[in-house]
Structure 1
Amino acid sequence: METDADLLLAHQLVDLADEISLRHFGREPLSRHKADGSPVSEADLAVEKAVLAVLAAQRPGDAVLSEESGALSASARRWIIDPIDGTIPFLEGRRDWGTHVALEIDGELRIGILSRPTEGMRWWARSGAGAFASSSAQPLSTTNRLGIPRFAVPLDRARVGGFLFPGSPFETVRDRMLWVDSSVCLVADLLEGRVAGIVDEGGNVWDRAPAALLVREAGGEVDDLHGGGRIDRPWLVYTADGLARELVDLVREVTG
């Protein structure tokens, strides 16, 4: 079971990551392309190095899965880290990027945090305790508890966004809803009722871990198209209650 100290540590990791990434933001950090074609910058690597050092010192027995270093050791307790989620917008000077930190215990997500450093905001959840939005100045504040409002109108009136690959099969059906092309934080838009669904194609575990816990704890639904909510499958759909069946059925239809 996670502890209050784990939650505090998770926020401290995000504090550290935000500080380092903002130090590099807008200064054209060095970058290169990885084997899969995605970019990695010196800021990504600096954030990861600092976060891993803290975990090695404070949780030496825990496993870590991080985007740039992969899986480090094995344990029932695993920290999942995305140093900078959204490296492309980060390098382009946009605002839709941040750090993801999650703690998984015995295969169950227990803590999840995602941040938007340029906004001074983060969204976080603890399993069984709810989901919250807070400022970087008061990260542990529970004043703003999140609850995704139920969606009670047809899909063609729903605002839906997505994380899609170029040429995605889902692009062919986006006109069936009110598609959202861009956002500072699409997951926060769902958590705060500005969109009713998100379609995620091919995301990695470190991309999805905080969002999956946040959406569940805020009363939404997470569906992997197989009747569950696994975050390691090709497609994942996050929705407000009331929209899940229609949106998931559509994703199944276009993806086969």
Structure 2
Amino acid sequence: MNSAFDAATIRARAEVAMSVALEVGRETARFRRDSDPGTLTVENKGLQDFVTIADRKAEQAIHEGLLSRFPDDSFMGEESGGRSGKGGTWVVDPIDGTTNYIRGFRHWGVSIAFVVGGKVEIGVVYDAAGDKIFHAVRGGGAFKEGIPVHAAATVDPANALVILGHSRKTSFDDHLALSRRLHERGMDYRRMGAAAIDLVRVAEGAADLYYERHLNAWDMLAGALIAEEAGAVVAMPPVDRLLAQGGPVIAYSPGLAGEFAFILDIEGL
């Protein structure tokens, strides 16, 4: 870790990030409840990638909440962009699962990660479905509302529940082939559309696998740390590469490592 960031300074940032995520998450949920969906001013950035007024308001609030306390930190957000800095960098998705949010499907959240020296040191995710905060500080375990969470102890693939993401930047045929392979092993699977929430589902033991072949860094970094600290096996490219170009992520229950090793081979992880 950068010598400027000892345990106390990291913990201070984690506490602020949790408070900001909860406040912004609740305000964003309130905005959705109080708004006519037809007035949310959706701009099409692609077939399944939307920006809303709420996205922009949420990211601005997160930026102000974090940088007002830690003005020397860098900030990288899905909406406003930015670059990682030599010190610490906040990597933020103000609404992960924007399409779900727009449609009123409550599988969305706020994702805040803090990166120092190429490592994710803090992960905070607001889970809108339960109005709960998940968080982790590297080396300190993973928590939901302050209570430790752990990856599932599943060992039988017939009892496994998996979540698969899919980006239109990647092959749908490959996605179908993977779905078929897991189905043939007896696994039940879902596609939910919010990577940060999918990763914390693995962290709390509700799901046994989350895999997506291409994500941006702000979609995955916070949830990946939480899953790892909860005891899940997590694999992804180096953080610096993810910040520059995105990439794959896989997180799974350790008792099913043999079932998912082929995915690691596919990605070269």
Q: Please classify the TM superposition score into its range, dividing by the shorter chain length.
A: 0.7 to 0.9
Judged with a 3 Å threshold, the aligned counterparts in structure 2 of structure 1 residues 168 and 189 are, in CA distance, closer, same or farther, namely farther
Give 1:15's match in structure 2, choosing from 3, 18, 22: 22
CA distance in 2, matches of 1:3, 1:221: 24
Within-5 A mapping of 1:39-118: 39-72=50-83, 74-118=85-129
Contact 1:191–1:218 (8 Å) recurs in 2: yes
- Tell me the secondary structure at the aligned position of residue 68 of structure 2: helix
Q: In structure 2, give the amino acid aligned to 1:170.
A: H
Q: In structure 2, give the amino acid aligned to 1:240.
A: S
Q: CA deviation at 1:35?
A: 6.4
Contact 2:152–2:207 (8 Å) recurs in 1: no
Q: CA deviation at 1:180?
A: 2.2
Is 1:222 matched up with 2:234?
A: yes
Give 2:190's match in structure 1, choosing from 139, 157, 181: 181
Counterpart of 2:220 in structure 1 is: 208
CA distance in 2, matches of 1:211, 1:85: 11
Per the normalisation by structure 1, the TM-score is 0.85
Give 1:125's match in structure 2, choosing from 136, 144, 147: 136
Judged with a 3 Å threshold, the aligned counterparts in structure 2 of structure 1 residues 218 and 203 are, in CA distance, closer, same or farther, namely same
Deviation by residue 1:109-151 (Cα, 9 ceiling, x = unmatched): 11111112342112111111110011xxxxxx3xx21121333
Judged with a 3 Å threshold, the aligned counterparts in structure 2 of structure 1 residues 239 and 84 are, in CA distance, closer, same or farther, namely same
Q: In structure 1, give the amino acid aligned to 2:255.
A: G
Instruction: Figure out how many residues of one structure are paired with residues of the other and give that number.
Output: 244
Contact 1:125–1:131 (8 Å) recurs in 2: yes
Q: Tell me which protein shows more helix as a share of its residues.
A: 2
Q: In structure 2, give the amino acid aligned to 1:15.
A: L
Per the normalisation by structure 2, the TM-score is 0.81
Judged with a 3 Å threshold, the aligned counterparts in structure 2 of structure 1 residues 34 and 80 are, in CA distance, closer, same or farther, namely same
CA distance in 2, matches of 1:196, 1:15: 26
Within-5 A mapping of 1:245-256: 245-250=258-263, 252-253=265-266
Counterpart of 1:137 in structure 2 is: none
Q: CA deviation at 1:241?
A: 0.9
Judged with a 3 Å threshold, the aligned counterparts in structure 2 of structure 1 residues 230 and 243 are, in CA distance, closer, same or farther, namely farther
Counterpart of 2:151 in structure 1 is: 148
Q: In structure 2, give the amino acid aligned to 1:176.
A: R
- Tell me the secondary structure at the aligned position of residue 120 of structure 2: strand
Counterpart of 1:196 in structure 2 is: 208
State the superposition RMSD in angstroms.
Answer: 2.6
Is 1:161 matched up with 2:155?
A: no
What fraction of aligned residue pairs are identical, expressed as a percent? 23
CA distance in 2, matches of 1:180, 1:35: 26
Contact 1:18–1:98 (8 Å) recurs in 2: yes
Judged with a 3 Å threshold, the aligned counterparts in structure 2 of structure 1 residues 203 and 253 are, in CA distance, closer, same or farther, namely closer
Counterpart of 2:49 in structure 1 is: 38
Q: CA deviation at 1:56?
A: 3.0
Contact 2:73–2:89 (8 Å) recurs in 1: yes
4+ residue runs over 4 A deviation: 228-231
Is 1:24 matched up with 2:37?
A: no
